[in-house]
Structure 1
Amino acid sequence: MKEMQRFAKVYQQQMNWEINEENYEKSRASLLNNYMLLTTEVAEVAEELRKGFNITNKNIQNGMNDEEAFRIAKEVIKQDLGKEFADCLAYICKIANFFEVDLEESFYSKMEEVKNRENKDIRLQKR
């Protein structure tokens, strides 16, 4: 993740896509714009999932069993889904870099926090 953040920082500088640091108002506007772009990319992940579910349901309606139908749908959307995840990661890295947040360190720290939570969701075991 550290390498991805370093790459993103250099890439965004080369493309002239950095968050504006000229003053508070420009930084604020730039951050809000990038956040809006991130949420747009997250919505595009949802669209790919929707496409996959529609492919699955169509194949089930045509007589295919649900597991096979879903396997095929996952293959169909895999590449485009990966592109949308990459877009999301690019915006996350950009915002994290602006605030000098180490995403790798933050990720592992947060996962440890979640693991040790008192109010974890309870999942029923399959019988």
Structure 2
Amino acid sequence: MKDLQAYMKDYQKEMGWEINEENYFKTRESLLNNYMLLTTEVAEFAEELRKIFNLTQQGILNGLEQEEAFLRAKESAREDIGKELADCLAYLLKFYNYFDLDLEESFYGKMKEVRERKNKDF
């Protein structure tokens, strides 16, 4: 994870995609813009899920068993889902880097916190 985070920091700098830190208003605008871009990518991932469910339904209507229809639909969207999730990850890493957070430390710390919760969902 550390290598990925460092790679993205360099990549964003190379591409000129860093969060603007010129002054408060430009930083605020840049953070909000990047947040909107992240939510757009999350929506594009949701669209891929919708395609999978529609293709599954179409397969069922064409005589496939439910599980087979779903497996085929999932496989047909695999590459596009990977691209959309990569876009999401890129924006998340931009925020991690801007706020000088360690992705690995944050992730494992949060998973430990969830594991130890008293009010776990079942």
The verdict on a shared fold, with TM-score over 0.5 as the criterion, is yes
Q: Please report the TM-score for the alignment, with normalisation by the length of structure 1.
A: 0.94
When the two chains are superposed, the root-mean-square deviation of aligned CA atoms in Å is 0.6
Distance 1:110 1:121 in 2: 16
Partner of 2:58: 58
Partner of 1:125: none
One-letter amino acid of the counterpart of residue 78, structure 2:
K
Distance 1:107 1:19 in 2: 22
The residue correspondences of 1:85-124 to structure 2 (distance < 5 A) are 85-122=85-122
Q: Please report the TM-score for the alignment, with normalisation by the length of structure 2.
A: 0.98
One-letter amino acid of the counterpart of residue 67, structure 1:
E
**Does residue 2 of the first structure (1) align with residue 2 of the second (2)?**
yes
**What is the CA-CA distance between 1:23 and the residue it aligns to?**
1.0
SS class of match (2:53): helix
Partner of 1:15: 15
Q: Which runs of 4+ in 1 moved over 2 A?
A: none
- What are structure 2's unaligned runs of at least 5 residues? none
Distance 2:60 2:104 in 1: 40
SS class of match (1:21): coil
**What is the CA-CA distance between 1:25 and the residue it aligns to?**
1.0
Write out per-residue CA displacement over residues 40-92 of structure 1, whole angstroms, 9 at most, x where no aligned residue: 00000000000000000000011100110011011000000000000000000
Paired residues, what number?
122
One-letter amino acid of the counterpart of residue 100, structure 2:
E
Partner of 1:44: 44
Write out per-residue CA displacement over residues 6-57 of structure 1, whole angstroms, 9 at most, x where no aligned residue: 1111111111111001111111110000000000000000000000000000
Distance 1:76 1:103 in 2: 31
Q: Percent identity?
A: 65
- What are structure 1's unaligned runs of at least 5 residues? 123-127
